Amino acid sequence: MFKYYLVIVLCFFSNMLYAGYGTGEIKRFYAGGDGSVYFGLVTQLPNTCSNWSEHFKFDALTSGGKNMLSVLMSAKLANKRVYVWYTDSSNPGTDQTSGCSGNAISILLNIGIQ
């Protein structure tokens, strides 16, 4: 019984581990040769940086990444806004000229269509 309650508590607090959350319209996205997908929203969300208009990245080679890519493409084609959950950038508020590199971009954790 203790394990059951522990799982419930961990699930509840795991939602609080997401550093950032927001919604917006997809501006553009592209897939890199290493399986990474980069994308940006029309309006930059808090605690992100902008590397040539990309604010988020994720690994599309995993099963979860493939699902997120499917949602991202569907939302873009349907011109729908998306909900995003992400980690904070290591250089928030910067761009490619002031410290936002591919390693500083926020990591996408979850995505949904609004």
The ranges assigned to domains in the chain are 18-113
pTM of the predicted protein model:
0.82
End-to-end CA distance of the chain: 37
**Residue linked to tokens 């909900």:** 83
With vertex at residue 97, the alpha carbon angle to CA 68 and CA 101, rounded to the nearest 5 degrees, is 35
pLDDT in tens, 63-113: 999 999 999 999 999 999 999 999 999 999 999 999 999 899 999 999 999
Chain centroid offset of residue 85 CA: 6
Of the given ranges (12-21, 49-58, 94-103), which has the lowest mean pLDDT?
A: 12-21
| Domain covering 18-113: architecture | Beta Barrel (2.40)
